[in-house]
A and B are shown apart, each in its own frame.
Chain A
Amino acid sequence: MSDSATEAGNDRVAEIFAAARGAGRHLLSEVEAKAALGAAGVPVTPTRLADSAAEAAAIAGELGYPVVLKVVSDTITHKSDVGGVELSLDDAAAVEAAYGRIRAAVEAAAGAEAFGGVSVQPMAAAGAEVIMGMTQDPQFGPVLMFGLGGVLVEVLKDVAFRVVPLEPHDAAEMIREIKAFPVLEGYRGAPPADLAALESILLSLSDFAEAHPEVQELDLNPILARHDGATAVDARIVLTPA
């Protein structure tokens, strides 16, 4: 991004962080996290908050079908575990029904206060699932992670780390370092993933981490890596406590 675009992006990110802190939260909602990352030049699916079934359907109509609904919650870490995610919703009726199911499931599993509406986003084109993230190391400051994404990431631990700031060759090397790299090269006839797009996101995250030391933890999981680009379909940002 150009310097002025970077500056405007940084201002937008600071506003989003300040708003969350103003509401007493240091875990950002998916909508906030994606807005902040989008402002930093990371490709994310456009994602908006809906507080009612009708609003969800209206947003879905604007974004275009099919869409995904996910619960917005300050307390739930793994949304799909509590029935908080509905995929491939093709029309307004399906969206409204899904809204009701998510609300009922989340309230049953975690109580009424756990439900804070839903996020609405277009269903992203399929691709290889990768994860990128950042955390603050007590000795070395921000470190970035890249790995094969999805729900098994902590079991398989097929990830690579680098310390911020990253050079382009660091981004290229960490992508090629994971055991599952052949999957990204085009496994069993699948087209190869757009590695340049993935490298570019890692470098944007490195800049993001440097510009915003108040980010304590960050996950983009998954990022769908297609042959022509890559998009983060879920995002989590935790700010430092104070």
Chain B
Amino acid sequence: MPISLDRLERVLNPSAVAVVGDKRASGYMWLNALKTFRGNLYSVQVDPREVEGIAALGVPNFASLTEIPEPIDYVVCAVPRKIAPIIVRDCIAAKVGGVTLFTSGFAETGEAEGIALQEQIGALAREGDLALIGPNCMGLHNPRLGVRFHRDQPHGRTGDVGFISQSGTHGMHFSLVGATRGVVCSALISFGNGIVLEAADYLDYLAADAGTRIIGMYIEGARDGRRFVRSLRAAAARKPVVVWKGGQTRAGSAAARSHTAALATDQAVWEAIVRQAGALSVESLDEMIDVVHALQRTKPGRGRRVALMAMTGGQSVALADAFARAGWEVPRFADATYAQLGEFFNVIGGSYQNPLDMAGTIMTDRAALDRLLDLMADDPNVDAVAMEVSATFAAQRWERDPEELAALIRSLHRFRERSDKPFVTALHPSYVEAAALKARDALQEAGLPVFPSFERAANALAKSVALRPSLHPGEAGRRRPA
């Protein structure tokens, strides 16, 4: 029976958290990661040598969960697997909200003892109505409340992306790498073996969660495939859902007696499910973060005609190629646009078909960039705008004269204020990576979308545009008559 959403609400928004079994050998990783937790943090540890180290951290320690003098909303359990059933019983006795079993060594080992222990723990949790996350996982991350499982995860910030991960590493990387791109989570759940709560439960929760605007997930397989499809479909009808399916677990069946069975690979079926549900497939962590970044920072668009703005002739060609490959049309501008461009565009060393090869125009006259952007905003042949920000040309100048970068950001910001067209920038780190990263951060701070290559900008914009219309499919017209 699915666990109630209220239960997940309590676990993901705890007032009191306890860590069971944290150890010096791991650098007290859990207690250190949870130092930023805004509520009350407790430790449970009976080993006298560990108790000393925990006291030094200033975290109150108890011999058992049941001895802690306040209700515990969230427990992290890091004990060896043989002890895990005891802690699960304690969680039930102490009526905690839920527990993450960081402990591993269960069914994922494929050995009899691990499988038996997992079954025992699962049965205990279900019988005791305990929200059990994992085992073999990193559990929960809520940056707003400082709930973390890695000491570099963001805290004291509120994000709007809910992320669900079958892998601890991919969940961790989404939060850490995402933060460098301005992508912060509303909630992140690493659920590992998912023996009690599985992907569909977390999807249901995030679909209903008001603080989550976008859902991302890394998944390798679903235990109850039909239920997963229902949950994915329901979630994708409410918010953008981006799915990274890992692992080619099954090739076409070698024993197949039909073409259909031979061609129905795991990957083909998963792609179909994601598409059918109205969600979007991505193939890597970088692509996941790119698409989420685009969904967060670009306005929803419909059309596929893009205006391209580059600094040189070579980059104009490369930018146009990258966008064309990602399925974009690079149209001629409207005649009125060309008429105006003819008045001020510097064609010596430049050109203004589409793409605009504009360095010669905007580097001599800063106001020209605003004029160009205004023309793109008003051109009826243009649905979206992509612009190269060239570190090669400008990063060292931005270092010397921060006002130049600030002026660029003001121009881009002004464009976004006045235009409903989706807009992205591509800032390749070039040979000045450190300076380029600073510029990227400044652009991101201003809320602008920035991608490290033309290809990634083109792909992320294409996917984010493709995803959003599915949220308003006119459901009535899509349903089969009964």
Closest to A134 in B: B260
Which chain A residues border B276 with CB–CB below 8 Å? 162-163, 170
Residue total for B at the interface (Cβ-Cβ under 8 A): 29
- Near A by CB (< 8 A), chain B positions 221-265 give 221-222, 225-226, 228-229, 250, 253, 256-264
The reply on B271 being an interface residue by CB < 8 A is: yes
The reply on B269 being an interface residue by CB < 8 A is: yes
Report the Cα distance A98→B326, complex, angstroms.
Answer: 53
Contact between chains at A77 and B269 (CB < 8 Å): no
Report the Cα distance A169→B470, complex, angstroms.
Answer: 12
Measured CB to CB, the closest approach of chain A to B277, in angstroms, equals 9
Measured CB to CB, the closest approach of chain B to A32, in angstroms, equals 15
- Near A by CB (< 8 A), chain B positions 425-462 give none
Q: Which of B257, B269, B478 contacts A137 (CB 8 A)?
A: B269
The reply on A27 being an interface residue by CB < 8 A is: yes
The reply on A143 being an interface residue by CB < 8 A is: yes
Q: Which of A141, A167, A236 contacts B226 (CB 8 A)?
A: A141
Measured CB to CB, the closest approach of chain A to B108, in angstroms, equals 18
The reply on A10 being an interface residue by CB < 8 A is: no
Contact between chains at A163 and B272 (CB < 8 Å): yes
The reply on B46 being an interface residue by CB < 8 A is: no
Report the Cα distance A206→B14, complex, angstroms.
Answer: 45
Q: Which of A145, A163, A169 contacts B260 (CB 8 A)?
A: A145
The reply on A232 being an interface residue by CB < 8 A is: no
The reply on B472 being an interface residue by CB < 8 A is: no
The reply on B273 being an interface residue by CB < 8 A is: yes
Which chain B residues border A161 with CB–CB below 8 Å? 264, 268-269, 271-272
The reply on A159 being an interface residue by CB < 8 A is: yes
Contact between chains at A145 and B264 (CB < 8 Å): yes
Contact between chains at A139 and B222 (CB < 8 Å): yes
Report the Cα distance A167→B477, complex, angstroms.
Answer: 10
Interface string of B269-299 (1 = CB under 8 A from A): 1011101100000000000000000000000
Known: A161-B268, A168-B478. A140 touches B257 (CB 8 A): no
Which chain B residues border A167 with CB–CB below 8 Å? 478-480
Which chain B residues border A157 with CB–CB below 8 Å? 263
Between A140, A159, A174, the greatest number of chain B beta carbons within 10 A of the residue's beta carbon is seen for A140
- Near B by CB (< 8 A), chain A positions 125-174 give 131, 133-135, 137-141, 143, 145, 147, 153-154, 157, 159-163, 167-170, 173-174
The reply on A71 being an interface residue by CB < 8 A is: no
Which chain B residues border A177 with CB–CB below 8 Å? 275
Report the Cα distance A160→B276, complex, angstroms.
Answer: 11
The reply on A238 being an interface residue by CB < 8 A is: yes
Report the Cα distance A162→B270, complex, angstroms.
Answer: 9
Contact between chains at B262 and A154 (CB < 8 Å): yes
Which residues of B are interface residues toward A (Cβ below 8 A)? 221-222, 225-226, 228-229, 250, 253, 256-264, 268-269, 271-273, 275-276, 473, 477-480
21 interchain pairs (CB within 8 A)? Answer: A133-B261, A135-B256, A137-B225, A138-B250, A139-B269, A140-B226, A140-B229, A141-B225, A143-B264, A153-B263, A154-B259, A159-B268, A162-B272, A163-B229, A168-B478, A168-B480, A218-B258, A221-B259, A236-B257, A236-B258, A238-B258
Question: Contacts A139-B221, A143-B264 given; 19 further ones with Cβ under 8 A?
Answer: A77-B257, A135-B256, A140-B273, A154-B263, A159-B263, A159-B268, A160-B272, A161-B269, A161-B272, A162-B272, A162-B276, A163-B229, A163-B276, A167-B478, A167-B480, A219-B258, A221-B259, A236-B258, A238-B258
